[in-house]
Amino acid sequence: MDFSKAVSKGQLHEQLHQWYKELGPIYKVNVVNRNMVVVTDPTSIESVIRRAMESGGRPPLVELVEVFNKEHHLPPSIATHNYEAWKRYRPLTNLLLQPQHIHPLIPRISLVAKEWTQKLKEMATVQPDHSYVLPQLRSCLNLFTLEAIVAVIQGKRLGLTTPGTHVSQEILDFTSNVENVVRFTSASMSTFPLFKYFKTPLYKQFEKVCLSAFEYCKKIRNQHSLQEIQDGTVHLADVYTALGVKNGLSEAELLSVDLGITFAAMDTTSAAITIALYELALSPSLQEELYQEICSVMAIDSSSWTELPSIDNFQLKKMHLLKNFVKDVMRKSPAIPLNSRVLFEDVEIQGYHIPKNTDIMLFNYGVNRDEKYFENPLQINPKRFDVEDNKMNEYTMLPFGLGERACPGKRIAMAEIHLLVAHVVYQFRLQTRAKDYELAGPGLVSPLISKENQIHFVTRR
């Protein structure tokens, strides 16, 4: 299987992992039209990130997006490779990392997560054993992640997780369009960019899904009839828009920030939650431990049934097992299995000369599954983080990237994953016939779920 085939089959991470085992910690891959090397050991990853911090770095050029933006007279996207444009956006997205903005929003996310566990029964097919199955698990989770991100960013409720409310075809189309944007973007990076010269079928599909998703995003932003959340907490969009206006960003650039955040937030988080739920289904004993922790922190008598109230930041902080479980899931199966950088200067890594403008892939998936860095790497073991281990550091695990381009949505994403898992574990026992799962992409990876290995949600009540 070559690089392009691996991308189209959604198995790029597997192919790179194979090469990692055969070729060692640093190797070059041939991709049409690009210079690309893959680095896989934490020391080399650290060198690249540090060099990017010192003398500048950017993500690889995504020509499909550039061509599309140019043709439609749109400003660059928030994850643009254009350093000058990115510097105008980043102070705004950096606000999403500030605890004082995120912590008060935890109960808001918790409420949406709790609603989703109730809505699950409406979305599911009921099995003969009375368990619930969500045939389109990831798409159902997209309803949660979209509702949550709009609630925390715009302070509005779309009603996607509200029990008894119909989810319109328009919304379902939007979520699948966003999924396809990611798919087409990653596919475009392993093929010759013919779309620069004429409208290829890939370009046409990308254009269609993007335009349609943009329209819907604009609608959410401008729809004044949507229910506004009035819990006394400030909405994040109000905070960063004020900063953007102060810094002289145009209305088109502010819209690009809103679109970029919604796009970057939704499917990434759903993919990560899908993996976490699958790992839970594989481990009934861990579910019970988590259930006991939730009851203990929330002061609930686990022998009698009580509604789980909204979880706040202080309570979430005390759920150590939950947090370490999610951390270990993101280690074993990062939804984004590789990061990338293009450096502005030549760099020497482990005796190899890497010229500037080379796409450098930082292959965290390989490190995360390497016994050199993690004992029993394929086993989920939240307790591995309880002991001091000097082999583990921030360069051995980078599910959200690192450095100045690191994911600004990290806190929000983690809160969403923790809270959804907490509410699901409190409400259900998860079961599956599968013994393990296989991850597949393209771009984002999540478990391949067939009819035979679905997750069954069994109510605890």
Per-position x/- string for 265-294, each x denoting binding to ligand HEM as judged by CB under 6 A, each - no binding: x--xx--x----------------------
- Binding of ligand HEM by 78 (CB under 6 A): yes
Strand partners, 353: 348
* DSSP per-residue codes, 329-395: HHHHS-SS--EEEEESS-EEETTEEE-TT-EEEE-HHHHHT-TTTSSSTTS--GGGGTS--TT--TT
Q: Are strands 132-133 and 34-39 parallel, antiparallel or unpaired?
A: unpaired
Taking the complex as a whole, the smallest distance from the CB of residue 413 to ligand HEM amounts, in Å, to: 4
Taking the complex as a whole, the smallest distance from the CB of residue 131 to ligand HEM amounts, in Å, to: 27
Q: Footprint of ligand HEM on residues 364-403 (CB under 6 A)?
A: 399-403
Contact stretch for ligand HEM (CB under 6 A) within 225-233, 290-298, 370-378, 405-413: 405-413
Which helix H or strand E contains 444, and what residues bound it?
none
Q: Are strands 359-362 and 34-39 parallel, antiparallel or unpaired?
A: parallel
Per-position x/- string for 413-452, each x denoting binding to ligand HEM as judged by CB under 6 A, each - no binding: x---------------------------------------
Conformation bin of residue 392: beta by default, left when phi > 0, alpha when psi is -120 to 50: beta
Residue among 58 and 456 whose Cβ is closer to ligand HEM? 58
Residue 136 dihedral angles phi and psi, to the nearest 5°: -110, 65
With beta carbons less than 8 A apart as the criterion, state whether 333 and 280 touch.
no
Taking the complex as a whole, the smallest distance from the CB of residue 339 to ligand HEM amounts, in Å, to: 5
Both structure tokens of 103? 């912590």
Q: At which residue do the structure tokens 């899904």 appear? A: 209
Total residues contacting ligand HEM (rule CB under 6 A)?
29
% helix / strand / coil in the chain, to the nearest 5? Answer: 55, 10, 35
Taking the complex as a whole, the smallest distance from the CB of residue 110 to ligand HEM amounts, in Å, to: 16
d(C-alpha 240, C-alpha 332), whole Å: 34
- Binding of ligand HEM by 336 (CB under 6 A): yes
- Binding of ligand HEM by 47 (CB under 6 A): no
- Binding of ligand HEM by 337 (CB under 6 A): no
Per-position x/- string for 90-129, each x denoting binding to ligand HEM as judged by CB under 6 A, each - no binding: x--x--x---------------------------------
Taking the complex as a whole, the smallest distance from the CB of residue 160 to ligand HEM amounts, in Å, to: 16
Strand partners, 352: 349
Per-position x/- string for 141-160, each x denoting binding to ligand HEM as judged by CB under 6 A, each - no binding: --------x-----------
d(C-alpha 274, C-alpha 446), whole Å: 7
Per CB under 6 A, the list member of 337, 409, 441, 443 interacting with ligand HEM is 409
- Binding of ligand HEM by 57 (CB under 6 A): no
d(C-alpha 377, C-alpha 306), whole Å: 37
Contact stretch for ligand HEM (CB under 6 A) within 103-111, 165-173, 260-268, 274-282: 260-268
Binding site for ligand HEM (CB under 6 A): 59, 78-79, 90, 93, 96, 149, 260-261, 264-265, 268-269, 272, 335-336, 339, 399-403, 405-409, 412-413
